[in-house]
Amino acid sequence: MCGIVGIFRHEGQVSAELYEGLLMLQHRGQDSAGMVTFDGVRFQERKDNGLVANIFDKKAIDSLKGSVGIGHVRYPTAGGLSATEAQPFFVNSPLGIYLIHNGNLTNVDELLMGLGGRMMKTTSDSEVLLNVFAEDIAQSITSNPGSDMEKVAFDAATKTMKKVRGAYSVITMINQVGLFAFRDQNGIRPLVIGQRKAVDGSDRDEFCVASEDSAFGPLGFSRVRDVNPGEAILITPDGRLESRQCVNGKISPCIFEYIYLARPDSMLNGISVYEFQLELGRRLAKRIKDRCEDDDWEIDVVVPVPDGSRPSAIEIAQCLDLPYREGLVKNRYVGRTFIMPDQRTRELSVRRKLNAMRSVFNGKKVLLVDDSIVRGTTMSQIVQMCRAAGATKVYLASSAPPVKHPNVYGVDMPSREEFVAHNRDEEGVCDLLGADGLIYQTVEDMLQAGRGMNPQIERFDASCFDGDYVSGDVDDVYLENLSGAGRGKGRKGASAPAR
């Protein structure tokens, strides 16, 4: 999971706006950030490990000249944790191309074999993707000398999409061509287009392409549409928006985006993240009501685990006619524990991140609502906090079904053994977490919630819940190799603290 943004302006410096866009996407990656701008003559680049605000001070922003640029925040799922793995990546030939990528490729070894003499500087699949695309551009130029560079870029993207499997939402800057973006044929990771009138007051159009449309608001862009699965778009140096359906596509977005990854104020693939989370709460409330009747759950108060569970928790409290209380106070200066790169850092961060208010919990039977329970690291400690704050009963409700399978498309949870629900039923998970009761969302209710909001989506990628991978090339051998490669809590360099 990463956040990407590209902005085209007719005049003025784009770096400050890229900075604002990356701040709005910081939730998608906290390991590193990078930015590159283009002034029509040369590229200017800066990238490093750390948060956006720590990497880009005023001096850095002022040094990034140009009216066109791209930016990236990284949560590493492939490659190491070194700053050399930070994006954007660059190749000088042909033309000069910078690339940023959100997703994860599933046929990297095959792609590397086809690259011949091209050498990689990192272990990142994004660098492999860049070199595949660059090689296809070079071949298009060679086989069609004198061809229009726009056609060359679209032809190359078509060739690349026919080779590459997995999840990829990509934004590039190509010298002599423009800002060029494309999305995989399943549309697994989001990519959306924004538009505004030029900041110089003229009637010319300016554009933004980003992982989420929540990045548009502070910059004055209005949402136009999603980039379609299998589509490439080009914003030319003179500000024209061109597009081509390069390969046949059918939208099958990752449903975990709506549960955990995306901001609630984003609209992805025609579905409001916030409305989706409310619907999850309504559906889960019906199951909780049955559990209260069948298993004698007695609930005094509903408390969310901040922040992602709030919409569902609010809806559950309303449906069950129970008081809703903010009983867990969040330290805003601690990062998201799930996307921290190693288990020890996650565990140390939980108690720095949350504190239980005794006035809410003392003497109460509490229903804690979380958006998902993945490793159980956070939840087991929260249950202990609630009891220490005086809760007499602690029941748990997860807005998502149990996570039982690796997500190979850009979320770092590839090893089955890391999941608290691995080889455990609901009762077993409940005992391990130390709760008095546990209820999960069902997979079918979750999928129905999504389909009900956009009937055009016939299939979501819900592979981390049901083991059904939309790219069609993921089997047990692939998953075993992925786990053995050192991803997840076994990732090389994972002892480094998350930033």
Quote the crossing angle between the two packed helices 149-163 and 125-143, to the nearest 10°.
Answer: 130
End-to-end alpha carbon distance in the chain: 15
Peptide bond into 62 cis (omega under 30): no
| β-sheet bridge partners, residue 271 | 268
Q: Are 104 and 410 in contact (CB under 8 A)?
A: yes
**Distance from C-alpha of 374 to C-alpha of 308, rounded to nearest angstrom:** 14
Q: Which strands, in side-by-side order, build the sheet including 437-440?
A: 301-304, 365-370, 393-398, 437-440
* Partners of 44 in beta bridges: 37
Compute CA distances 294 → 282, 322, 401, 427, 431, whole Å.
Answer: 19, 18, 20, 15, 19
* HEC profile of 286-330: HHHHHHHHHHCCCCCEEEECCCCCHHHHHHHHHHHCCCECCCEEE
Q: Residue 276 and residue 205: Cα distance in Å, rounded? A: 32
Token readout for 412 is 């770092």
Integer Cα distance of 296 and 305 in angstroms: 23
Q: Which two tokens stand for residue 24?
A: 């709005």
- Cβ atoms of residues 280 and 439 within 8 Å: no
Cis peptide before 401 (omega within 30 of 0): no
The residue to which tokens 């866009």 are assigned: 21
Nearest to 1 by CA among 369, 302, 413, 358: 413
Q: Which residues contact 110 (CB under 8 A, 6 or more apart)?
A: none
DSSP string, 173-188: EETTTEEEEEE-TT--
Task: Please check whether residue 7 is in contact with residue 207, taking contact to mean a CB–CB distance below 8 angstroms.
Answer: yes
Both tokens assigned to 1: 């999971």
Amino acid letter, 311: P
The answer for 176, left when phi > 0, alpha when psi is -120 to 50, beta otherwise, is: left
Q: Which residues are catalytically annotated?
A: 2
- Nearest by Cα to 175 from 62, 43, 264: 43
Q: Say which amino acid occupies 461.
A: D
Query: Which is it for strands 393-398 and 437-440: parallel, antiparallel or unpaired?
Result: parallel
